[in-house]
Chain A
Amino acid sequence: MDEQPPQRVRVTGPDRRTARRAPLPRTREIDAATPVGEIYLGSLLREQLRLAVLVLVVLFGVLGSMPLLFHLWPSLGGHRVLGVPVAWWVLGVLAYPFLLALGWFYVRRAERNERDFTALVDASTEEL
């Protein structure tokens, strides 16, 4: 056994008052437009805008290039699949499932972005 007893250490719990006060709930950060709040809000806006631009680029890219294709290669108009000209398949039939799929993709991603945002700003009070 050591002669010297171990040095006495003072053990205390975390200071509750300061801990409770320190970080604002993240929703209040947004309300008060603090720099942190701006980052939270900006991240949601940027994600949603990036998603919207992605969908629009695909939409205008795919459909907008059709007139150019047929302008450059008019012989495409003569091609037939199952007796129906190719342009009719593309614009009369395939365009609609394409638009629906694009919309479905957007709704899933947009709702996920919002869930992430909700989790981010609501998490604050319990975690910190």
Chain B
Amino acid sequence: MNSAPGIVAVFLVSVTTLAIGTWGLRFSRTTSDFYVASRTVRPALNASAIGGEYLSAASFLGVAGLVLVFGADMLWYPVGWTAGYVVLLVLVAAPLRRSGAYTLPDFAEARTGSRRVRGVCSAMVVGIGWLYLLPQFQGAGVTLAATTGAPQWVGPVVVAVVVLANVSSGGMRSITFVQAFQYWLKLTALLLPAAVLVAVWFGDGRPGAAPVADGAWDLPLADGGAIGLYTTWSLILATFLGTMGLPHVVVRFYTNPDGRAARRTTLFVLALLGLFYLLPPVYAALGRVYAGSLAESGRGDTVVLELPSLMLSGMGADLLTGLVTAGAFAAFLSTSSGLSIAVAGVLSQDVTGRVVRRAGSQVTAFRLGAVLAVVVPAVAALVTPDVAVARVVGLAFAVAASTFAPLLLLGIWWRGLTAAGAVAGLLVGGVGSVTATVWTLADASYSGWVDALLGQPAAWSVPLACLTMVVVSRATRGAMPAHARRFLVRLHTPEAVELDRG
């Protein structure tokens, strides 16, 4: 294998990322710049940044691989990851921006008036963030190993160093430019090769794939009759609701100028994601024709990286391989950056901010938080090289849907939510979803309904968390925060109206 295109691509993406990050540094002066880019990011730029941050290794490599191996029911992943933004748009986007809080724990504390709720939320942001960072670092290792032949540890180290340099130097302001650039890089890196490869396929006389015996590849439904139906519905629920609970997505909404801009940003995001997700199934379908062996040998995740060299040869293959490698690397860098910002923001407010107490040392606290945010999962990725990557991302979505989604929904739309109710619901949803998935990871034996219920917990853990929050809140209704009504005024009224927002 020719390793030059992969090395050149990784080098160029890393250098460009650092250069744009440094350029953004010139605008980054205050703490507000670090956390939320001083809330001045316009919808089009912000949406590109959200798209760049959101499209991780799972989207760039994983979707095509899953569809290639398992067929049309895996198309629910990209659809769910996009539909999550519709749910976020109608229930959360504008109110979250108007809440005026920096991070998810800030929102939780402002809404419930409780330090305890804040503590639980902080722990969950860090936990979900680290869970999501781990597979990014591992994916980087696999990609570099596949395209350049480098040892497995090189990928995590390169990503960790570039992300750390960017995040700790410029914070949110410089990251916004980096993320926006990386969305368009990822789109180009998937679109151009797809166009060339489809042309090659036409040139070859449009060969068809080997027919599948039972047609299951074309059914958008998991196997197993009623169990398959449950699994598919539970997956839909987890992806639709999980998006709003991912800390790195939510933190971007604070960078909008106002609630109206937050909505328009989300609309842009829907367009950008829809555009991007048209492409992975093309690779899967072509992979069906040209790369059947990948699916059989369980290396579906590399179909996007290997398809160019399987269909072409010489210079063209090298160029396209370099391009998709660059896109994949951009995916690791941007998602890791966004997650690191979110985790570092929480850590610096609740942990390192207390250690570094000198006046004017907030930026130091943020940098210290960034180091913790990146180093812990990077070390974990080096120590545990073969955790099931897709499963870990799935766990992050299910946990987010079972914890932060109910908190945001009830906190924004129901004034009866109390601190006790929030804590109880967060714990029930978190413990339920984590236990279920850890159980499945530890015990892979297939046992029908039990396996389905534990493997895709969202369909029961989300309603359970919501129900707990409502029941406990009703039981402790005397402790309803006095400012709850004023807080709802702030969340839902347009900024232009002169009202007392507490």
Contacts and interface: CB of A to CB of B under 8 A. Distances in A.
Interface size class for chain B? 35 or more
A39 interface: no
Contacts of B219: 70, 74, 77, 87
Interface string A34-50: 00000001001100110
B498 A27 contact: yes
Interface string A59-89: 1100110111011001001100000010110
Most buried by A among B83, B218, B263, B271: B218
Contact of A88 (B218, B493, B496): B218
B229 A67 contact: yes
Contact of B218 (A66, A77, A100, A106): A77
Candidate in B87, B240, B274 with the most chain A CB atoms within 10 angstroms: B274
Interface string A15-32: 000000000000100110
B82 interface: yes
Contacts, number: 141
Contact of A52 (B90, B226, B228, B270): B90
Nearest to A68: B229
B263 A107 contact: yes
Interface stretch (B158-166, B357-365, B484-492): B484-492
Contact of A106 (B75, B90, B240): B90
B90 A55 contact: yes
A49 B485 contact: no
Nearest to B281: A92
Contacts of B488: 41, 45
Given A67-B232, A85-B218, A91 B89 contact: no
Given A63-B83, A88-B72, A99-B86, A110 B220 contact: no
A87 B493 CA distance: 42
Contact of B499 (A31, A66, A74): A31
Contacts of B225: 71
B261 to A, nearest CB: 11
Contact of B220 (A33, A44, A91, A111): A91
A74 B73 CA distance: 13
Interface residues of A, number: 49
Contacts of B240: 59-60
Interface string A87-116: 110111101110110111011001100100
B413 interface: yes
A117 B263 contact: no
A92 B500 CA distance: 47
A102 B233 contact: no
20 contacts: A30-B493, A30-B499, A49-B413, A59-B83, A63-B236, A67-B232, A71-B225, A77-B215, A77-B216, A91-B76, A95-B83, A103-B266, A103-B270, A106-B89, A106-B90, A106-B263, A110-B90, A114-B494, A117-B494, A118-B496
Given A92-B281, A107-B264, A114-B493, 19 more contacts: A27-B498, A44-B493, A49-B413, A56-B87, A56-B91, A60-B240, A64-B236, A67-B233, A71-B225, A74-B215, A85-B218, A87-B220, A88-B75, A93-B278, A99-B82, A99-B83, A100-B271, A103-B89, A107-B263
Interface of A: 27, 30-31, 33, 41, 44-45, 48-49, 51-52, 55-56, 59-60, 63-64, 66-68, 70-71, 74, 77-78, 85, 87-88, 90-93, 95-97, 99-100, 102-104, 106-107, 110-111, 114, 117-118, 121-122
